[in-house]
A and B are shown apart, each in its own frame.
Chain A
C-alpha cells in the first residue's frame, strides 16, 4: 500500500451499495457522452432487435409503449468514479422485447447501438432475467436528451457506459464484438463490483 502523505480523504460513510473505487455523486448526474447530443423526437425514435433471432422486429415509440411497463429503482455506477443512489427509471424490461423476437440458442452476445452510432457490447445473459430495460422516464419525467432521451438502454449492474443512450437497437451475435469504449481500451464486461474499468482489469 502506497500511502499518500497527508491524504485523509472524505469522511468514511459506510455505503453498502458503493462499489470499490466509487464515490457518491449525491444529487449530481454527470453527463459524459463523447458525441453531440442528437435532436431525436419520440416520433423519429425506433428500436430494432435483430441478428441471431427467430423474428427480427422494429418497434416505434407507441408500439414500445404498448408493451408491459416495468421500472428499475436502485443505483447506477459510472466508470469515471461516480455512483448515483436511488434513481428510478421507467420503461419496459428487455425480456419483453426479447420474447417477441425469440433469441436463437446460438446467441451469446449483443451489440447495442445508439441512433448516434455509438455502440457497446454485452453478454446476452447480462440483458435477460429482469436486469435490463429500455427506459424513457427518470423520476417520473421524460428522460432528458443529454441523458439519453427519448429512450436509452439501462443495465444498472454494469458500468453505465453499457447503458447506451438514444438506443436504436440490439444485434444478437454468437461472439463478442467490441463496442465504442471497449475498442478504446475499456473492459469488455464492466462489472463495477470487480472494478472492471479497463481491458485487463
Chain B
C-alpha cells in the first residue's frame, strides 16, 4: 500500500496534502450493510463503571483490531436506538465478539446494557465498519488511550499476543485511578499506565505528558511508529499534540474520538 494521498486528476493547486491519513484496509460492502442478531453470552465487570459484554454472532465475518460496529436496540413500539462501539476482542475469537461499555449517566443504550441486559438477550449488530483505525498487525504500533479509549487498543494488544507478533507495540493508557483502569489485570510490559486522580504508592499522579511520550519516540523501531489515539476529544487533542511535539509525523497519527 502506498502512503500517498490521492492526487486528483485536474487538480492544479496541489499544495501537497501534509497529513491526510490513509485508510489501512479495504472494507467489505456486503458485511457493512447487513444487520445480524447477536446473543449476549456473558457479562464481566471490568471496573466500577465499565463492563464487558460477550456476544455470540455466528455469522460474524471477522474484523481487524481497531474496527467498530454499529449496534441497535428496538423497543416494543418500534423505536430504535443505535450506537457505534469499538470491538474489544481480538479477531481470532471465532463467532464471538466482545464490547466494553462505560456506564454513562442517563445513557440510553449503555444504560440498558448495564442495568437490564443478561445472558440470553439478543440485540442486532452490523459490521465490522471502517478501515481507518484498523491495525492489521503489520507495522510497529504506538497506542495512546484514555478511559474506555483503551477498548480498540486492547483489541490490538490482544491480537499482538494471540498471534505472537514480533512487530513492536507499546501502549500508554490514562485512567483516573487504578480501580478505573480497564483490563488492569491483563496489561503487561507493553503498557504504561498514567493516573490522573489517584495512584498506587510511589506512582506519580498527573496528566499524560511529554515525559511519557518522548522515551517511546526516542526508541524508534525500523520504519517508525504508526500511532493510534483513542479517547474523549479533550484527550485526543492533548495526546495528538504530545505526539506531534515529540516528532511523530502527523500523517501517521490516527485518531478515534468519542462522540
Contacts and interface: CB of A to CB of B under 8 A. Distances in A.
Interface of A: 1-10, 12, 21, 23, 28, 30-38, 48, 50-52, 56, 58, 78, 80-82, 111, 113-119, 146, 168-169, 171-173, 177, 180-181, 183-186, 197-201
A185 B129 CA distance: 7
B19 interface: yes
B124 A171 contact: no
B114 interface: no
Given A48-B13, A50-B11, A117-B17, A35 B6 contact: no
Given A7-B74, A31-B257, A185-B27, A177 B20 contact: no
Interface string B233-246: 10011001101100
Contacts of B219: none
29 contacts: A2-B122, A2-B124, A3-B76, A7-B75, A7-B81, A21-B80, A23-B81, A30-B259, A31-B233, A31-B236, A31-B259, A34-B255, A36-B250, A36-B253, A51-B8, A56-B12, A113-B17, A115-B18, A119-B20, A146-B237, A172-B10, A173-B8, A185-B27, A185-B28, A185-B32, A186-B130, A197-B70, A199-B29, A201-B33
Nearest to B25: A184
A21 B35 CA distance: 14
B67 to A, nearest CB: 10
Contacts of A201: 33
B130 A184 contact: yes
- Please provide the 3 A-B residue pairs with the shortest distance between their CB atoms, ordered closest to farther: A30-B259, A117-B20, A117-B17
Contacts of A3: 74-76
A184 B131 contact: yes
Most chain A CB atoms below 10 A, which of B81, B131, B244:
B81
Given A35-B250, A200-B32, A81 B83 contact: yes
A8 B81 CA distance: 10
Given A36-B241, A56-B12, A173-B8, 17 more contacts: A2-B122, A4-B74, A4-B123, A9-B79, A30-B233, A30-B257, A31-B236, A32-B259, A36-B250, A51-B11, A52-B10, A78-B259, A171-B10, A180-B23, A184-B131, A198-B129, A200-B30
B19 A35 contact: yes
Interface string B54-78: 0000000000000000100111111
A169 B74 contact: no
A10 B112 CA distance: 11
Contacts, number: 169
A185 B81 contact: no
Interface residues of B, number: 65
Given A37-B237, A180-B20, A173 B257 contact: no
B30 A80 contact: no
B82 A36 contact: no
A114 B19 CA distance: 10
Nearest to A31: B233
Contacts of B17: 113, 116-117
A43 B32 CA distance: 42
Contact of B74 (A2, A52, A58): A2
Most chain A CB atoms below 10 A, which of B79, B124, B243:
B79
Contacts of B253: 35-36
Given A117-B20, A177-B8, A198-B33, A36 B75 contact: no
A116 B75 contact: no
A111 B121 CA distance: 44
Nearest to B23: A184
B109 to A, nearest CB: 9
B176 interface: no
Contacts of A115: 18
Contacts of A168: 13, 15
